[in-house]
């Protein structure tokens, strides 16, 4: 077998493996290697497909920052080759949709750049009225996450008025977006009502009810429905505890435990996930986690000046006996948090991230 044939065989084997592992971290690594092998072989068609699939796994495996350059390359190939576009249109637009729906997590892109990205997606999607619902979905979730109330309300109405079509995401994911919008509007009871199909196992997908449970912990608590909330917290955390993709949702679980006064459990959760938070390439997820962590430590500090905390990183205040002084650690967190608050507020052109988002963790 020649060297080229060996590489081809390896690429085919890895591709089969990746196709059987969805959007998991294992699939991410496999598609990344498949793309490298296809490029070395000179298989342009296979390279394009591998890069699209690689990009589709990025955000689900904690590597969302890699999505934009991959998307740019894939679009450049398809927009100049009608046959390529026809062949890979469905996969490419799914990839594009996922990227456009997640760019608000990165403070390096301006709102203008994000809007241009959405318009470009819209141009590719729109055929008659196709794609309108998905574009409206992306716009109302973006506006909710950046604190633009009127824009969110307008886009949400357009979303409700638009029928589902071939470009719509799964209904479980749509409902998850609706729940986040209702929480943004502080409509606690309706958010819980919308979550019922997911909570009852009637509307599920790869990330639902995993995310859904984390979102509804706060409204359950604020409505005094603690028996349900406690059961949901235990059930929901089992679903997400081993996947760094759910970092922001793990942060919502930490916030709920703090609200319930379960500081030992909250600190244990911080220990388990801090390394992922420190190393993540998704700025907004990191900010969520650090805000939740800071509030826990601030309240613990009322009772003691140091705490047993193994974070796996040499941080200010770490002592030789394994204890962590809280004040220096809070200083380190404050610096990281305030820097992100400033950059996100500047990008969003609102004070939503610094002034209102923390209320998701302080209740």
pLDDT digits 0-9 by tens, 292-334: 999 999 999 999 999 999 999 999 999 999 899 999 999 999 9
pLDDT grade, residue 127 (50/70/90)?
low
Residue 128: pLDDT band by 50, 70, 90 thresholds? low
- Averaged pLDDT, 337-346: 98
Does pTM top 0.85 for this prediction?
yes
What are the residues whose beta carbons fall under 8 Å from the beta carbon of 196, sequence distance 6 or more? none
Q: For residue 301, give Cα distances in angstroms to 114, 289, 326.
A: 40, 18, 7
Q: Tell me what pLDDT residue 46 has.
A: 96
Torsion of CA 171, 177, 181, 182, to 10 degrees: 50
> Over pLDDT 90: what percentage of the chain?
91
Residue 72: pLDDT over 90? yes
What residues pair up with 205 in beta bridges, in sequence order? 208
pLDDT of 192-235, one tens digit each?
A: 999 999 999 999 998 999 999 999 999 999 999 999 999 999 99
**60: confidence class by pLDDT, cuts 50, 70, 90:** confident
Q: Where are the domains of the chain?
A: 1-105, 241-363
Among 24-28, 66-70, 128-132, 275-279, which stretch is predicted with the lowest mean pLDDT? 128-132
Confidence of residue 64 (pLDDT cuts 50, 70, 90): confident
pLDDT at position 336 over 90: yes
Gap between the Cα atoms of 180 and 11, Å rounded: 40
pLDDT at site 59: 79
Rounded distance between C-alpha atoms, residue 158 and residue 60, angstroms? 28
Q: Which of the four pLDDT bands, split at 50, 70 and 90, describes residue 62?
A: confident
Share of the chain above pLDDT 70, in %: 99
Nearest alpha carbon to residue 210 among 256, 263, 250: 250
**111 touches 146 (CB < 8 A):** yes
Residue-level pLDDT at 89: 92
Q: Environment class of residue 260 by beta-carbon count within 10 Å: exposed (0-12), middle (13-18) or buried (19+)?
A: middle
Q: Which fold has domain 1-105?
A: 1.25.40
User: Phi and psi of 323, rounded to 5°?
Assistant: -85, 155
pLDDT tops 80 at residue 362: yes
pLDDT digits 0-9 by tens, 248-297: 999 999 999 999 999 999 999 999 999 999 999 899 999 999 999 999 99
**Tokens standing for residue 135:** 């574009």
Band (pLDDT 50/70/90 cuts) for residue 129 is: low
Q: Which of 153, 146, 151 has its CA nearest to residue 348?
A: 146
Tell me if 290 sits within 8 A of 277, measured CB to CB. yes
What average pLDDT does the chain have? Answer: 95
């Amino acid at each position: 077998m020649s060297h080229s044939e060996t590489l081809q065989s390896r690429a085919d084997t890895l591709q089969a493996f990746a196709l059987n592992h969805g959007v998991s971290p294992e699939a991410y690594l496999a598609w990344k290697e498949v793309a490298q092998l296809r490029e070395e072989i000179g298989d342009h068609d296979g390279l394009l497909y591998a890069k699209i699939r690689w990009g589709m796994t990025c955000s689900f495996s904690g590597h969302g920052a890699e999505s934009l350059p991959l998307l740019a390359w894939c679009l450049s190939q398809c927009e100049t080759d009608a046959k390529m576009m026809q062949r890979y249109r469905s996969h490419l637009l799914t990839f594009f949709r996922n990227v456009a729906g997640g760019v608000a997590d990165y403070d390096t892109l301006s709102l203008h750049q994000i809007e241009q990205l959405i318009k470009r997606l819209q141009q590719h999607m729109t055929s008659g009225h196709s794609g309108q619902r998905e574009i409206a979905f992306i716009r109302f979730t973006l506006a909710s996450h950046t604190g633009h109330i009127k824009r969110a309300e307008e886009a949400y109405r357009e979303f409700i008025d638009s029928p589902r079509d071939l470009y719509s995401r799964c209904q479980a994911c749509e409902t998850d977006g609706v729940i986040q919008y209702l929480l943004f509007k502080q409509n606690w009871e309706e958010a819980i009502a919308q979550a019922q199909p997911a909570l009852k196992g009637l509307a599920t997908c790869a990330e639902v009810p995993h995310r859904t449970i984390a979102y509804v912990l706060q409204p359950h608590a604020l409505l005094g429905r603690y028996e349900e909330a406690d059961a949901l917290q235990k059930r929901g955390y089992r679903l997400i505890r081993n996947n760094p993709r759910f970092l922001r949702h793990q942060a919502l679980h930490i916030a709920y435990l703090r609200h319930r006064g379960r500081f030992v459990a909250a600190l244990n959760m911080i220990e388990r996930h801090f390394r992922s938070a420190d190393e993540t390439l998704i700025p907004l997820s990191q900010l969520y986690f650090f805000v939740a962590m800071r509030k826990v430590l601030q309240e613990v500090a009322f009772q003691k000046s140091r705490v047993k905390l193994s974070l796996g990183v040499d941080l200010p205040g770490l002592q030789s006996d394994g204890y962590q002084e809280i004040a220096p650690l809070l200083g380190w967190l404050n610096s990281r948090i305030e820097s992100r608050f400033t950059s996100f507020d500047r990008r969003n052109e609102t004070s939503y991230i610094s002034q209102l988002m923390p209320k998701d963790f302080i209740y």
